Amino acid sequence: MSTSLEEFQYLLQGMRSAFLDELAERCDNLDNLILSLEKTGGSKSVFDETYRQVHSLKGSGGMHGLGIITTTCHHLEGVLTAAAAAEIFDSNFVDCALAYVDILRKIEAPGRLENPDYTSIEAELESLRRSKLKSLKAGLIAESSGMMSKMYQKSLSSKQVQLVAVNNGMLALERLLREPFDFAIIGRELKELNGIAVIAALRVSQSVNQNIPVILVTSKSDNIPEFVRFNAVLYKDKNLPGKLLTALSSLVEC
């Protein structure tokens, strides 16, 4: 059984490595398509192909556990959609779109590591989002289970959001105290510091996130302290994906 699992993990690693091998070429293709959009004034066929390639890259990133690629592509889709709605494919559009492709290129090296650190890339994404995509909301996901974290991100894939995921309470609190977010989704059963403690500390801080909407996800049904001020409490069951989407929609315009 363990040999089978090892073989499966080896296969997944090989597929991820092959995907990363192709990333630079796929970015080159996107560069050319974006420049072509400017030259053709937003040709429908060129736009459709650009959007298709970005959407495909977004899906592949998620499949290979590279959520940072999914998030970056989600941003780029927002840039493309906004340009198409305004029918403006000028130099400002090109500069913004190419900036996102440059971020995609930077993901290749850390993406090959066993424990990649995307902190600087996430910071660059946030800076670009706030300067170019003010309508895109930023959210923090704190969940110790990688499978659950991916489920949250998939559940919210239809929303115009940038999601940063961490896997323990101390990391969640550190980021909430120093980086601006529009909302947070916190698992109660976190490593190092549980979700209630994280948000209790946030609520008494002077952080810019002190009063942001927070959704608690838990498997326990006991009472939650009122002073922590969770905006929604969701329980882990088969209906969680839908409930999460509904709760966020009611709390954040995105």
* 172 shares a domain with 203: yes
Mean pLDDT along residues 27-43: 96
What is the number of structural domains in the chain? 2
Higher-pLDDT residue of 221 and 146 is 146
Is the pLDDT at 19 greater than 70? The verdict is yes
pTM score: 0.59
Q: Are residues 32 and 9 in the same domain?
A: yes
- Looking at the fold, whether 5 and 56 belong to one and the same domain comes out as yes
pLDDT of residue 166: 87
Pair (181, 154) in one structural domain: yes
Of residues 35 and 137, more confidence is placed in 35
- What CATH number did the domain enclosing 199 receive? 3.40.50.2300
Is 100:72 a contact under the CB 8 Å cutoff? yes
Domain shared by 67 and 184, yes or no: no
For residues 143 and 214, state if they share a domain. yes
End-to-end CA distance of the chain: 45
Residue 194: how many other CB atoms lie within 10 Å: 18
57 and 20 in contact (C-beta within 8 Å)? Answer: no
Average pLDDT of the chain, as a whole number: 89
pLDDT tier for residue 25 given thresholds of 50, 70 and 90: very high
Q: Are residues 245 and 144 in the same domain?
A: yes
Shared-domain flag, residues 128 and 163: no
CATH number where 33 lies: 1.20.120.160
**pLDDT top residue among 133 and 77:** 77
Helices (H) and strands (E) in the chain, counts: 10, 5
Domain that includes residue 48, residue range: 1-134
Q: Are residues 13 and 58 in the same domain?
A: yes
* Residue 193 CA: distances (Å) to CA of 46, 168, 176, 188, 230: 49, 7, 13, 9, 17
Alpha-carbon gap, residue 131 to 153, rounded angstroms: 23
- Predicted confidence at residue 134, as pLDDT, reads 63
- pLDDT at residue 135 tops 70: no
* Gap between the Cα atoms of 102 and 244, Å rounded: 32
> Do both 107 and 11 map to the same domain?
yes
248 band by pLDDT with thresholds 50, 70 and 90: very high
For residues 45 and 155, membership in a common domain is answered with no
End position of a domain, from candidates 77, 109, 134: 134
Nearest residue to 214 via CA among 247, 169, 189, 165: 247
What's the confidence (pLDDT) of residue 140? 92
Whether residue 1 is predicted with pLDDT greater than 50 in this model: the reply is: no
